Amino acid sequence: MVPREDHRIGRVVDGRFRLVEVLGSGGMGVVYRAEHLLLQQEVALKLLHTHLHHHPRGMELKQRFLREARSLARLGRQHPHITPIIDCGVCDDGTLYMAMELLQGEPLCHVIARGPLPPARALDITAQVLRTLIHAHGKGIVHRDLKPDNIMLTRHEGRADFVKVLDFGIAKLLSEAEIPTSISAEEAARELAEGPAQPLTRAGIIFGTPEYLSPEQAQGLPVDQRTDLYAVGVLLWEMLTGRRPFVGTSPLEVVSLHLTAPPDPPSLHCPVPLPPALDQLVLRAMAKDPAERFATAEEFLRALDVVLDQLGRDGTTGLVRLPRLGRWWWRPQVPARRPGPWQAVSRWLGVRGAAAVAAGAMLGGLLALAALLAHLLHAGARPPPPTSPPVAAPAPKATPPPVAEPPPQVPLQDLLEGLERGRSCQERRSAALALMARGDVQALPALERARRRALGRRAPNACMRQELEEAIEQLRSGTRGAHLPP
């Protein structure tokens, strides 16, 4: 929800940020487009709502807002799919603020509003969200409010649909103590319907979006990383079908459906056929019992890769495989070109492949022979022309050889991830060779860590010891006299 007018527009926050316009508003605060006066760059500035200062639990609300900044700082700048925090502080009137990177892109909710996504594109977006959760869950952080509004599709290094996961504001640090308190579905829906007056993330207080709320989260039970995986399953169901799996006239009805109603397979509502493995993947992620879901985001991602392989074999889904890493990515399909002469001949004769080439060559030979016979008959009926001195034919112009298009360059982050987490030593070896060919000195720390894991006969990277040594030596020889990363 974006307010039409805001009296803060034009003001300077904390002497550093000038508010330009309102980007959006939520239960906890308002997000502005702001200008950093010292750095002269645009940022996204989130301010806590003013009316929450006088709330009976205002101190808890401020602590929750600071917890959001602490969660983002804990995630750090190590993952490309997480928006980094730039600064945070307190205004003169006591309002808390947090400055983040200003993203240029489109929310996933706007994309879904135009209709269902192609299965390959939906799985590609889901895979990026799962890789983000692997990083966040490894830091002990659960998002707890994954939904299309919190997923931004941007462009990164020439690649479209690059995912940015937003709003870790209700993230629960697993290291913090929490006393679980079970409540009924009616009480859960009542708290959700009360709006931003009860938006805390402690035990017994429900916070989240009803359409993406897991059953245990709706009842106030303890949550873990499987809660996020349930929301990812709902996201994938919605991307495939263009609608939500549970729709009701009130939050109470939606929460009750999440607690009791089994979801339909997405293939029943998808406009294109889906493989049974994809139905099983989505339904397992949306299981009511957390024990029946995927245990971790890594397990979910492995199962999703299997489905991507099945979709990529038919060649009609827009999937392309990255070189060396062997991963599937979605690429928008280009319109089909008009068939050439040989394709037209093959369609006319009803043959394909080598048979089409042979048929085309035979037809071309017959046409050439007919033209030669016609020329000879025409030349025999005319008197020979007067002889003239021979004229040297001009030398043919040399045609430059065709320039091969360079292969698409794999992002550095994907190569580093393949070196660190490749499923086999051969896959990690391919990533090391690609990093050596890339010549980026930022890869030196990762290559040195991999070399330490290659020591010993039974080391996991023993098969790539020589390649690691060559890659490190090449990168260091090319950067002598320059500052190397630690």
Residues marked active site are found at: 145
Closest alpha carbon to 83 in 44, 139, 127: 44
- Contact residues for 329 (Cβ-Cβ < 8 A; gap 6+): 124, 159, 319, 320, 321, 322
Helix orientation angle between 251-260 and 185-193, rounded to the nearest 10 degrees: 140
- 258: tokens are 């999440």
Taking residue 189's Cβ as centre, other Cβ atoms within 10 Å add up to 24
Q: Label each residue of 312-352 as H, E or C.
A: HCCCCCCEEECCCCCCEEECCCCCCCCCCHHHHHHHHHCCC
Q: What is the DSSP letter of 37?
A: T
> What is the chain's Cα-based Rg?
30
DSSP string, 84-117: PEEEEEE-TTS-EEEEEEPP-EEEHHHHHHT-PP
β-bridge pairing 12-13 and 328-330: unpaired
Alpha-carbon span 25 to 28, nearest angstrom: 8
Which residue type does 76 have?
Answer: G
Taking residue 167's Cβ as centre, other Cβ atoms within 10 Å add up to 21
Q: Which SS3 state, helix, strand or coil, does residue 247 take?
A: coil
